[in-house]
Amino acid sequence: MPDTRPTAANPSRPLLTRIVGAEELWSGRAFDFVRLTVRAQDGVERDRLIVRHPGAVVILPVLDTPSGPEIVFVRNERHTINAWLDELPAGGLDAGEDPEFAARRELREETGFAAATLTPLGRFYTTPGVTDELMHAYLATDLEEVGQDLEDYEVLTVHREPVSEFFARADSGDLTDAKTILALHLARARGLLPGA
């Protein structure tokens, strides 16, 4: 008999499989590795390795300058892909942390800017085939430079680019970070970015 409980993402459609077991394989500071045992409609059970994540934020900072609005971004050293990646500032939530509070913290830590105004853009699952990480996107405006405060392990540099140039890079495929591309398109779709 299938599990008929509605899902969080789609409350009107019940799941066709049922989670019948979960074993924590490793617990870390930022996330946990878990082995789920899932029973299909035919009764066959299979293991699924997943990452349990407390959630995260991505921030689209727009700085007003005399020559027009600019996007503040970071060039981040990413060992997972063995390369530097241009991306919007982002970071994980602490357990029970308010996403807006985390967005303000990560913006200041990574870019050295504080925002008078944060506008929610939406939320999305980053890679639901692997993790339950839910990312909250914000537009940050009315920026003031207050000084960067990186974590000891972070290796990144701060950059600025006119909104139109940053969008052109996203549209051409030069930007490849999914959270960055999605936050840009969410802001543009809502008409929140001048020059986009």
Three-state SS at 48: strand
Are residues 75 and 156 both part of a single domain? Answer: yes
Q: 98 with 21, same domain? A: no
| Ramachandran class of 185: left when φ > 0, alpha when ψ lies in -120 to 50, beta otherwise | alpha
Return the pLDDT at 2. Answer: 39
CA distance 61 to 110: 11
Position 147 pLDDT exceeds 60: yes
Closest CA to 56 of 17, 83, 81, 88: 88
Residue 172 predicted with pLDDT over 70: yes
Helix pair 178-189, 163-172: axis angle to 10 deg: 120
Q: Rounded to whole angstroms, how far apart are CA atoms 58 and 90? A: 4
Average pLDDT value for residue range 40-47 = 94
Task: Please give the Cα distance from 5 to 194 (Å, whole number).
Answer: 43
Domain count of the fold of the chain = 2
Q: Where are the alpha helices (DSSP H) in the chain?
A: 99-111, 163-172, 178-189
Q: Within this chain, do residues 97 and 23 fall inside the same structural domain, yes or no? A: no
| Whole-number Å distance between alpha carbons of 172 and 176 | 10
State the greatest distance between any 2 C-alpha atoms of the chain, in Å, as a whole number: 65
Boundary of a domain, candidates 52, 71, 86: 52
**35 and 64 share a domain?**
no
Q: What is the mean pLDDT of residues 182-188?
A: 96
Is residue 33 pLDDT above 80, yes or no?
yes
Cross-strand pairs, 57: 91, 136
- Which domain covers residue 125, as residue numbers? 56-189
Average pLDDT (148-160) is 85
**Is residue 139 included in any domain, yes or no?**
yes
Q: pTM of the predicted model, to two decimals?
A: 0.89
**H-run or E-run covering 196:** none
Q: Are residues 143 and 84 in the same domain?
A: yes
In a domain, residue 36? The reply is yes
pLDDT recorded at residue 149: 81
User: Please, are residues 58 and 89 in contact by the beta-carbon 8 Å criterion?
Assistant: yes
